[in-house]
Amino acid sequence: MEIDVFTLFPDAFGWFETQRHVRNALAAGHRLAYVNYRDTTTLSGHVVDDTPFGGGVGMVMRVDVVDWALRARYGVDPVTLGGPRPDGGARRVIALTPGGRILDDQLVEELANTPELTLLCGRYEGFDERILDHYCTDRVSIGRYVLAGGELAAMVLADAVLRKLPGALGHEESVIEESYSAALDGAPEYPHYTRPAEFRGWTVPDILLSGHHANIRAWRLDQSRLRGGQAASE
Q: Which of 11, 120, 130 is closest to 70 using CA atoms?
A: 120
Answer for which of 96, 136, 158, 168 binds ligand 6GU (CB under 6 A) is 96
Task: Let me know: does 2 contact 165? Beta carbons within 8 Å.
Answer: no
Closer residue to ligand 6GU in complex, CB, 155/184: 155
Q: How far is the CB of 231 from ligand 6GU (least distance, A)?
A: 27
Strand-by-strand arrangement of the 60-61 sheet = 49-50, 60-61, 126-127
Q: How far is the CB of 30 from ligand 6GU (least distance, A)?
A: 22
Q: Using the rule CB under 6 A, is 143 a contact of ligand 6GU?
A: yes
Beta bridge partners of 141: 102
Residues 55-94, mask of contacts with ligand 6GU (x by CB under 6 A) = ----------------------------------------
Q: Which of 152, 17, 34 is closest to 97 using CA atoms?
A: 152
Closer residue to ligand 6GU in complex, CB, 83/99: 99
Answer for which of 145, 194, 206, 213 binds ligand 6GU (CB under 6 A) is 145
Sign of CA dihedral 162, 193, 142, 125: negative
Q: What's the alpha-carbon Rg for the chain, to the nearest Å? A: 22
Centre a 10 Å sphere on the Cβ of residue 117 and count the other Cβ atoms it contains.
Answer: 24
Q: How far is the CB of 57 from ligand 6GU (least distance, A)?
A: 15
Question: Which amino acid, residue 201?
Answer: G
Closer residue to ligand 6GU in complex, CB, 139/227: 139
Per DSSP bridges, beta strands 116-121 and 126-127 are unpaired
Answer for which of 27, 33, 72, 146 binds ligand 6GU (CB under 6 A) is 146
Q: Using the rule CB under 6 A, is 149 a contact of ligand 6GU?
A: yes
Name the site residues for ligand 6GU (rule: CB under 6 A).
96-98, 141-143, 145-147, 149-150, 153
